């Protein structure tokens, strides 16, 4: 295939990381990133993004919401009726 330009490499990045690219395209993309400082930097930030957003949006179930869920289900189903 033709040498990968940064832009076409970005278009393929998700498929690359998911391991669904044909072997020759995969190899061409790997070779491009290995020799392109900008793409290496881009890939690093592309991979970091989900982790950063994930860590920033972790929320725990508050006890009052859990209690409300049980009350709600008790009123509408046969569950949670035991003392």
Partner 1 sequence: MTMVVPAVEPDDETLVARAAAGDDSAFEAIVQRYQERVFRLASRLTSDSEAPDVLQDTFLQVYRHLPSFRGDSQFGTWLYRIATNAALMHRRARARRPADSLDMYLPQFEADGRHAATPAELQVASCADEMLDRQVLAQKARDVIARLPDLYREAFVLRDLEELSTAQVAQALGIESSTVRQRVHRARLMLRGYLSELVGVKP
Residues in the interface with partner 1 (CB under 8 A) total 45
Q: How far is the CB of 71 from partner 1 (least distance, A)?
A: 9
Q: Could you say which residues in the range 8-67 bind partner 1, by CB under 8 A?
A: 8, 10, 13-15, 18, 20, 37-42, 44-46, 48-50, 52-61, 65-66
Distance CA 25, CA 32 (A): 11
Write out the H or E segment, with its range, that includes residue 10: helix 6-17
The DSSP symbol for 1 reads -
Instruction: Specify whether the CB–CB gap between 29 and 18 falls below 8 A.
Output: no
Residues that bind partner 1 (CB under 8 A): 5-8, 10, 13-15, 18, 20, 37-42, 44-46, 48-50, 52-61, 65-66, 68-70, 72-73, 76-81
């Amino acid at each position: 295939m033709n040498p990968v330009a940064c832009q076409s490499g970005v278009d393929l990045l998700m498929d690359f990381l998911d391991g669904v690219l044909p072997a020759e395209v995969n190899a061409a993309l790997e070779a491009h990133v290995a020799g392109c400082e900008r793409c290496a930097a881009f890939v690093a930030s592309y991979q970091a993004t989900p982790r950063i957003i994930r860590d920033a949006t972790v929320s725990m179930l508050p006890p009052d919401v859990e209690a409300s869920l049980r009350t709600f289900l008790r009123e509408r189903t046969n569950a949670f009726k035991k003392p």
